[in-house]
Amino acid sequence: MSDISAFLRAIRDEHALRSALAHHETLPAQPPSYAPGLPTGSEALAPVLAAREIARLYSHQARAIELLEADRAADGAEARGRNVVLATPTASGKTLVYNLPVLRRTLEDPEARALYLFPLKALEQDQRQRFEEDVRALGLPGARIRAAIYDGDTPTAARKKLRDDPPNVLITTPDMLHAGILPHHATWRRFFEGLSLVVVDELHTYRGIFGAHVAQVLRRLDRVARFHGAAPQIVAASATIANPGELAAALANREFEVVQADGAPRARREVLLFRPEASPYTLAANLFRLAVGLGLRTIAFTKARVVTELMHQWIVEAEPGLAEKVSSYRAGFLPEERREIEARLFSGELMGVISTSALEMGIDVGGLDVCLLVGYPGSQVSTWQRSGRVGRKGAAAIALIAQPDALDQYLISHPRVFFSRGYEHAVLDPHNREIAGAHLPCAAAEVPLRAGERWLETDAARANVAALEESGELLRSDSGGEWFSARRRPHRDVSLRQIGASYAIALDGERSRRPEVIGSIGSGNVYSECHEGAIYLHRGRQYLVTELDPENRNVWVRAVAAPYYTRAISQKETSILTRDRSRPMGNCKVVQGRLKVTTTITGYERRRVRGQDLLGTEPLDLPPTSFETVGIWFEFPDEIPRAIEAAELHVMGGIHASEHAALSLFPLFALCDRHDVAGISYVRHPELLRAAFFLYDGIPGGVGIAASLFERTESLLDATLQMIADCDCEEGCPACVHSPKCGSGNRPIDKQAAVMTLRLLLARDPLPAIDRETESLDEPPATLEAESAAADAPRVLYFDLETQRSADEVGGWHNAHLMRVALACVYDSHTQEFETFHERDVAALIERLARADLVVGFNVKRFDYQVLRGYTERDLETLPTFDMLDAIHQRLGFRLALAHVGEETLGRGKSADGLQSLEWWKQGRLDLIEAYCRDDVALLRDLLGHAEAHGHLCFRTRNGERVRLPAPWKIPELLEEIRAGRGPIASNRRAAPRRAAGRTRTGYAGPLFDGDPKPR
């Protein structure tokens, strides 16, 4: 009988533990929720459940099985069932969800086959055993239903047997499917013909590069299955993540039904957050000994193999009696060793295990009581996946012991964030060009690519095929409709775990002999980690790089025992290839696009292992390397750097520190390692001509991580600001703004400037105005595209918008793109109806404007279009536009307010003004803003109508005389002028507007006079 309360008491009684305890929270138990009976058609499987001592299925299990079998039951065996993704916690019985339908199908049809995919070989054995146990429970005579593993360890003789007489369940990894099965699918004919279900377990691990590769492998699998006349369903099982349906759909290129309401019971869990003063490992080892000493079965998860070994060593040294009762567990152990540890843990012979992430997935080690997380596992997904190991039998304790890095410290200081943050999004980009480009020849070698097939539906895929044809990797058929692979086995050069070419790391001995290869490294990291003179760490050993040979892709190393480590010093440049989408955020503009990142390693530092003192710096002469990727960036208005300067803080130090801190919190938002994303800061970006910082996928082609943050940048920067502001340090430390990966050695870094930068970016503080008297605001001459003549009457859109913020709030009219749309109204001359657009509809609004024959507005170019500039990369200047204020100005040499012209011409002015509208926005009265905005649009429409009918409008001079304003504006002629590139719109005669020239946004309701009236 475990005793968690004794464990909690002991912690309270021991000063060192109690003082490190930062937070304690109790998560209540959750009762099970059962389904009423077995799913229809599964009655024959009752013995399987009986053997597992399962009386009833949990509700989520039953639901998933029902969905999988639904269509089949209705339309017979030929029908295609639904694809299901099940996202529930560890130990919620996911295996049964696919084993039961597979058993049912094989009982009905001995030729039915299933393919089980697991991301790690280590998971295969466990799954085969469980399937075989279920088969045995059925008590069938002979070996009627078989499961077999097919992977790199399968002996050659056995392979042929498996192909000729395939098992009902083939268990393998995506890597083996890619390299060993799909390329030889003809020899697997019997297997593919019967393939009815594909199981993708541990779905959440298929993200980033690996996910993008597996997405391609699953597309290839789908093609091959179709080639053999099969159309298998997919059932995917995932740890709990924010977006299981989306991930599965991106991965498998089809729709999924999502089941995530968990019916499995949960025990009460005591969650303890520790902030150790000294070493987190010492504290973890002490907690481990304490728990095991109380008879609690304990698992500790570390983040590094070496920590696993150290903790094991310390525990046994401190308490030799535990030598037989605890073990370490990590990659690098032989499979037999691992099986033995798992079995001893399961049987209870072992009281505790210290493991790397290797034990996070799949393998059943029975119920445990205490889970120690030595360092935040990097995601909520992993945190709850790992701690799901405990509490199956009764109450359990979970302790997180924070390490001194930014993310850990942030979560320990903000326990509410830790407990309520929710699960991360797992993202992958199935369209990564580099990865898709590597798999297209593989697919073509399997079954020739055909024009029009599903895989080639996207423009990106077609462009990829064209490029591969150009480079000679794909050969086009004479008829033109098919492509073949130029090589017979293109898959040999494609590894699912990395991108681009890899370098062999070999021991530098006698090179005449066959060199001993100790590992490999991707071309993306080879210059920074394996330059000459670098210390390369491999399995806890140090190696000195003696030569980097790019020509033959070799890294030569020698084992050494050096008291130092090395760190590359690099310079980076980012150039913008495309701007794909943008939006205003706070006081800045967020943009997403494709980037080209060029890195030059200029030298390296040698630092002492203990204490990290700098021992020396060596220069390096290496060529620049570059790659294309996807990123998001923040474009600063000039006020931000100026304000920071004015506060006598370091501008670059502030931007750089903000970038670091934002990067370190990325894992809170998307499932990724800190190494998957990178950043770069500019005080003045050479293309943008303004300050900016970039956050991008550090993986060629991008895998969707940065892009997934585009909509959530407020939350990201908000958390970043909170983290920095709450850190106790004075000038920045590894727990807030320092990055271990910084290419410039964390210089310059200015913590205070970062707080100010982020507050300004998020508009927590208003932008201070800059004196812009000397700056010309002249707009560039408008370029006009010839519009094709519309056959029927031109579609004229009368248009006006209201904003959320005033010019003052964004630092002036030049930042109109930060004012944000509150609401826009359009009157369409075709439908003769008004339409309203809210901020979320801005894209639709812009689309609408772009399709009009003529857009009519009042000061639309200097104001409305400038506001919309925050949301679009389209050059709105090119839209066919009639700006009435512009035309008035050209005629008179000064401007008039709309209200004034309306009053004098039609006897009706505006129903409100801009200030009022801003007030309404603050009160949430969108209804009032809408009414006002419509009135304005109607007024504009009627004024142009008046001008068309009478050839003039009216206004009152300063002397009080009501006079005619010549207005020879006829829509057909206006259109003609626009097409010809002349007329009011194309005119360059524009006076520089003063600040007051912004229509009524200043709150000025009377006529606007820039100078004395000068009738022409």
Tell me how far, at minimum, the Cβ of 612 lies from Zn ion, in Å.
17
Tell me how far, at minimum, the Cβ of 661 lies from Zn ion, in Å.
9
Nearer to Zn ion, 518 or 729 (CB): 729
- Total residues binding Zn ion (CB under 5 A): 6
Residue span binding Zn ion (CB under 5 A) among the ranges 365-373, 606-614, 734-742, 821-829: 734-742
Residue span binding Zn ion (CB under 5 A) among the ranges 9-17, 517-525, 575-583, 726-734: 726-734
Say which residues have a Cβ less than 8 Å from residue 252's Cβ, sequence separation at least 6.
83, 200, 215, 218, 222, 234, 236
- Is there a contact between 670 and 709 (Cβ–Cβ < 8 Å)? yes
Question: Binder to Zn ion among 733, 784, 822, 974 (CB under 5 A)?
Answer: 733
Q: Which amino acid is at 587?
A: N
Nearer to Zn ion, 729 or 850 (CB): 729
Residue span binding Zn ion (CB under 5 A) among the ranges 61-69, 587-595, 683-691, 742-750: 742-750
Q: Which of residues 68-107 bind Zn ion (CB under 5 A)?
A: none
Nearer to Zn ion, 485 or 664 (CB): 664
Neighbours of 76 (CB within 10 A): 8
- Is there a contact between 835 and 774 (Cβ–Cβ < 8 Å)? no
- Please give the Cα distance from 177 to 164 (Å, whole number): 17
DSSP letter string over 444-507?
A: HHHS-EETT-GGG-SHHHHHHHHHHHHHTSEEE-TTSSEEEESSS-GGGG--TT--S-EEEEEE
Site string for Zn ion, 361-400 (x = CB under 5 A): ----------------------------------------
Nearer to Zn ion, 527 or 865 (CB): 527
Containing H/E element for 726? helix 713-726
Tell me how far, at minimum, the Cβ of 740 lies from Zn ion, in Å.
10
Q: Residue 37 has what DSSP assignment?
A: S
- CA-to-CA separations, 972 to 49, 760, 789, 792, 882, in angstroms, rounded: 79, 47, 11, 12, 12
Tell me how far, at minimum, the Cβ of 9 lies from Zn ion, in Å.
34
Q: Report the candidate in 357, 304, 324 with the shortest Cα–Cα distance to residue 122.
A: 357
- Is there a contact between 102 and 169 (Cβ–Cβ < 8 Å)? yes
Tell me how far, at minimum, the Cβ of 694 lies from Zn ion, in Å.
12
Question: No. of H helices and E strands in the chain?
Answer: 33, 35
Residue span binding Zn ion (CB under 5 A) among the ranges 180-188, 634-642, 727-735, 836-844: 727-735
Tell me how far, at minimum, the Cβ of 571 lies from Zn ion, in Å.
11
Question: Binder to Zn ion among 235, 736, 761, 856 (CB under 5 A)?
Answer: 736
Angle, to 10 degrees, between the axis of helix 926-950 and the axis of helix 914-923?
150
Nearer to Zn ion, 435 or 665 (CB): 665
Tell me how far, at minimum, the Cβ of 106 lies from Zn ion, in Å.
56
Neighbours of 318 (CB within 10 A): 12
Q: Which amino acid is at 958?
A: R
Residue span binding Zn ion (CB under 5 A) among the ranges 55-63, 559-567, 612-620, 729-737: 729-737
- Please give the Cα distance from 804 to 806 (Å, whole number): 7
Tell me how far, at minimum, the Cβ of 406 lies from Zn ion, in Å.
8
Q: Which of residues 590-609 bind Zn ion (CB under 5 A)?
A: none
- CA-to-CA separations, 29 to 34, 107, 261, 422, 799, in angstroms, rounded: 16, 39, 16, 18, 58
Nearer to Zn ion, 211 or 698 (CB): 698
For residue 629, how far is the Cα from the chain centroid? Answer: 13
Nearer to Zn ion, 569 or 742 (CB): 742
Residue span binding Zn ion (CB under 5 A) among the ranges 450-458, 468-476, 728-736, 1000-1008: 728-736
Tell me how far, at minimum, the Cβ of 401 lies from Zn ion, in Å.
19
Question: Binder to Zn ion among 179, 727, 818, 822 (CB under 5 A)?
Answer: 727
- Please give the Cα distance from 115 to 781 (Å, whole number): 63
Q: Does 729 bind Zn ion (CB under 5 A)?
A: yes
Tell me how far, at minimum, the Cβ of 739 lies from Zn ion, in Å.
5
- Is there a contact between 184 and 159 (Cβ–Cβ < 8 Å)? no
Nearer to Zn ion, 378 or 653 (CB): 653
Compute φ and ψ for 36, nearest 5 degrees.
Answer: -60, -45
Tell me how far, at minimum, the Cβ of 656 lies from Zn ion, in Å.
5
- Is there a contact between 592 and 626 (Cβ–Cβ < 8 Å)? no
Tell me how far, at minimum, the Cβ of 733 lies from Zn ion, in Å.
4
Tell me how far, at minimum, the Cβ of 591 lies from Zn ion, in Å.
21
Nearer to Zn ion, 102 or 733 (CB): 733
Nearer to Zn ion, 738 or 910 (CB): 738
Residue span binding Zn ion (CB under 5 A) among the ranges 595-603, 732-740, 759-767, 924-932: 732-740
Residue span binding Zn ion (CB under 5 A) among the ranges 58-66, 268-276, 730-738, 780-788: 730-738
- Please give the Cα distance from 313 to 736 (Å, whole number): 32
Structure-derived torsion over alpha carbons of residues 738, 741, 747, 751, reported in degrees to the nearest 10: -20
Nearer to Zn ion, 297 or 751 (CB): 751
Nearer to Zn ion, 40 or 612 (CB): 612
Q: Does 468 bind Zn ion (CB under 5 A)?
A: no
Q: Report the candidate in 183, 118, 189, 179 with the shortest Cα–Cα distance to residue 149.
A: 118
Containing H/E element for 106? helix 94-108
Nearer to Zn ion, 742 or 892 (CB): 742
- Is there a contact between 185 and 224 (Cβ–Cβ < 8 Å)? yes
Residue 24 pairs in a beta bridge with 272
Question: Binder to Zn ion among 292, 640, 742, 896 (CB under 5 A)?
Answer: 742
Q: Report the candidate in 785, 986, 963 with the shortest Cα–Cα distance to residue 883.
A: 986
Q: Does 665 bind Zn ion (CB under 5 A)?
A: no
Tell me how far, at minimum, the Cβ of 199 lies from Zn ion, in Å.
43
Tell me how far, at minimum, the Cβ of 685 lies from Zn ion, in Å.
16
Q: Report the candidate in 367, 232, 242 with the shortest Cα–Cα distance to residue 296.
A: 367
Containing H/E element for 193? helix 189-193
Q: Report the candidate in 498, 601, 512 with the shortest Cα–Cα distance to residue 548.
A: 601
Tell me how far, at minimum, the Cβ of 732 lies from Zn ion, in Å.
6
Q: Does 699 bind Zn ion (CB under 5 A)?
A: no
- Is there a contact between 433 and 464 (Cβ–Cβ < 8 Å)? yes
Neighbours of 987 (CB within 10 A): 15
Tell me how far, at minimum, the Cβ of 636 lies from Zn ion, in Å.
17
Nearer to Zn ion, 456 or 742 (CB): 742
Residue span binding Zn ion (CB under 5 A) among the ranges 91-99, 428-436, 547-555, 737-745: 737-745
Nearer to Zn ion, 310 or 729 (CB): 729
Residue span binding Zn ion (CB under 5 A) among the ranges 505-513, 722-730, 839-847, 892-900: 722-730
Structure-derived torsion over alpha carbons of residues 13, 16, 17, 21, reported in degrees to the nearest 10: 110
Nearer to Zn ion, 214 or 737 (CB): 737
Tell me how far, at minimum, the Cβ of 736 lies from Zn ion, in Å.
3
- Which residue is associated with the tokens 């049809």? 109
- Please give the Cα distance from 409 to 602 (Å, whole number): 32
Cα angle vertex 951, ends 946, 955, to 5°? 70
Residue span binding Zn ion (CB under 5 A) among the ranges 58-66, 470-478, 619-627, 721-729: 721-729
Nearer to Zn ion, 362 or 679 (CB): 679
Q: Which amino acid is at 499?
A: I
Nearer to Zn ion, 407 or 438 (CB): 407
Footprint of Zn ion (CB under 5 A): 727, 729, 733, 735-736, 742
